[in-house]
Structure 1
Amino acid sequence: MMFIGAHMGSPIASVPSRTVKIGGNTFQIFSHSPRMWRITTKEKDAEKFKMEMARWKLDPQKVLIHASYLINLASPRDEVWKKSKSLMKEEMRIAHLLGLKYVNVHPGSKLSESEEYGVQRCADAVREIADESPTDVTLLLEIVAPKGGNIGYNFKQLEEIKKLSRRNIQFTYDTCHGFDGGYDITSEDGIKKLINEIEGTIGMENLVMCHLNDSKYPLGAGKDRHERIGKGYIGREGFLKFFSYEEFHQMPMILETPGSDIEHAEDIAIVKEIWSQLGL
């Protein structure tokens, strides 16, 4: 079985039923407003969510929480760095409360510091978060677009963060972010290069989630502007090539494309059409 879904808005208790309605069998959520430092999720919300997950027979180990946009684990500003670590621990606690396995976060921006500084800063934060979080929740670092001082825009940097943290973290691939950073999934050579780099760094077994987004800008643009499936520079043919490689068949595919449930249902249908072309 292949898993497909979308980033879904609140209330979280409605997400399992809405996911099934749009043709999905997995999803991503925010645990709270991504623009706030304070988490408001309560135990009664979590119990209702878990009941709905069971009712609609969705696998909690295929579902993702996306951490707050405020979090910057590479920040050279001590106050921001401390608040980021604290909020990330709360995100991990909420995942445990909801019965979910994964929390996804961007590694962060080093601002004007060196990349070496940013990688080490993020690794130190990851170690503390892992040590002070529930053991049944896994932290995922997401590959990001090379803009704004971001670190983690290639797999070598992600592997270095893991190595320096000395913790068992895993990873998320974003097709738009990767395309922004020069990973060309519209060509056979580009996909083979991507797979070889993954295998030579983090290991394919540690790439456990995928954000499935088309790109509003060309290869290597570094803009981080998501587009609906088939309407951007990756295009249907690019995703047809991407899905032709079995290395990407096991991880859940989460849409972060523009639009509401209606548009996500249309995009999911397009992805299923692409899969059917490949006999999946």
Structure 2
Amino acid sequence: MTSLSLIGGHVSVTGGLAKGGLRSAADIGAEMIQVFVTNPRGWALAAGDPAQDELLRASGTVTFVHAPYLVNLGTPSADTLEKSVATVRHGLLRSAAIGARGLVVHTGSAVSQTREEALRQLRERLLPLLEELPDDGPDLLLEPMAGQGGMLCATVQELEPYLAALDWHPKAGVCLDTCHAFAAGHDLSTADGVRETLDRLHALAPGRLRLIHANDSKDVCGSKKDRHENIGAGHIGAEAFAELMRHPAAAGIPLCIETPGGADKHREDIELLKKLRDGL
């Protein structure tokens, strides 16, 4: 029997990581959560509140942390690189403190340097962080992007050189964003497209899929535009998410929405995904 996926969303932690996060989760009917543990649009690193950390750990809620958007381990800027490394290390430590399963990090851009130079740099700076992780610690979850600019990884195929640069480290997992994958050219709007994408991911990196960002897309397949839409309201369509959950490679993998709107829209998206899941 196929394992059922927990369905939840990225939640606000206003009022405290545990108090605010768990209240937000209850408001939208989330079975799992993703949170920021520091400012997502800045470099200042928040220390956290041990009491809130313990409350969240004790709740048993399946949790993931998303790294700030500024992180880019492929950058040619020495300053940005140092801040990115420090931010990822901080995120991994905070993930461990709250009992999170993993830290989601965007796979980044080479900007003005070559892909080979960026991947070599990635190996030099990211591999040591992976080596620091204990076996029971959080995973580092690589999130491929939509393909704009000099992105290092957008398609499933581009995960291969990225993971190879990290020596296929066992703590390097994958977070698949459906909007990003669709924008990068994987046609998830059809059952065949969903199966082909997940078949390819499983063949390339078996067992490394640890989280799915479930987002519909405002733009067409291959647009290279990262614009999320509510479930069933975009070009991917609701049925694709049922097909996604039906695939063996996604069995038991949590789905986390990052869709537009407030609590009411998020509750609707989660309810729709639960309905699709429960109908499998």
TM-score (norm 2): 0.90
> In 1, Cα distance between the equivalents of 2:39 and 2:261?
18
Cα deviation, residue 82, structure 1: 1.5
- Pick from 198, 203, 213: which aligns with 2:201? 198
Query: 1:92 matched to which residue of 2?
Result: 92
Is the 8 Å Cα contact of residues 194 and 240 (structure 2) preserved in structure 1? no
Q: Which amino acid aligns with 2:265?
A: E
1:124-135 mapped onto 2 (5 Å cutoff): 124-133=124-133
Is residue 2:105 matched to residue 1:105? yes
Cα deviation, residue 4, structure 1: 0.7
Query: 1:159 matched to which residue of 2?
Result: 160
> In 2, Cα distance between the equivalents of 1:267 and 1:218?
20
- Pick from 254, 259, 262: which aligns with 1:260? 262
Is residue 2:75 matched to residue 1:75? yes
- Pick from 4, 12, 26: which aligns with 1:20? 26
Any idea what the Cα deviations from partners look like across 1:19-51, whole Å, max 9, x if unmatched?
Answer: 133211101001111111111233xx2432432
Q: Which has the higher helix share?
A: 1
> In 1, Cα distance between the equivalents of 2:31 and 2:239?
24
Is residue 2:55 matched to residue 1:51? yes
Cα deviation, residue 238, structure 1: 2.5
Which deviates more from structure 2 when the two are superposed, residues 14-23 or residues 4-13?
Answer: 14-23
Is the 8 Å Cα contact of residues 101 and 138 (structure 1) preserved in structure 2? yes
Query: 2:273 matched to which residue of 1?
Result: 271
Identity over aligned pairs, percent: 29
Is the 8 Å Cα contact of residues 144 and 153 (structure 1) preserved in structure 2? yes
> In 2, Cα distance between the equivalents of 1:270 and 1:149?
35
Distance change (3 Å), C-alpha of 1:46 and 1:89: same
**Structure 2 stretches of 5 or more lacking a match?**
none
Q: Which amino acid aligns with 1:276?
A: D
Cα deviation, residue 133, structure 1: 4.7
Is the 8 Å Cα contact of residues 155 and 186 (structure 2) preserved in structure 1? no
Query: 1:187 matched to which residue of 2?
Result: 190
> In 1, Cα distance between the equivalents of 2:245 and 2:261?
23
Cα deviation, residue 80, structure 1: 1.1
Which deviates more from structure 2 when the two are superposed, residues 253-262 or residues 127-136?
Answer: 127-136
> In 2, Cα distance between the equivalents of 1:108 and 1:131?
20
Paired residues, number: 271
Any idea what the Cα deviations from partners look like across 1:103-135, whole Å, max 9, x if unmatched?
Answer: 010111101222222232223222122234555
> In 1, Cα distance between the equivalents of 2:47 and 2:182?
34
- Pick from 217, 222, 233: which aligns with 1:231? 233
SS at match of 1:152: coil
Cα deviation, residue 53, structure 1: 4.8
Is the 8 Å Cα contact of residues 186 and 239 (structure 1) preserved in structure 2? no
Is the 8 Å Cα contact of residues 102 and 140 (structure 1) preserved in structure 2? yes
Query: 2:65 matched to which residue of 1?
Result: 65
TM-score (norm 1): 0.90
Superposed CA RMSD: 1.8
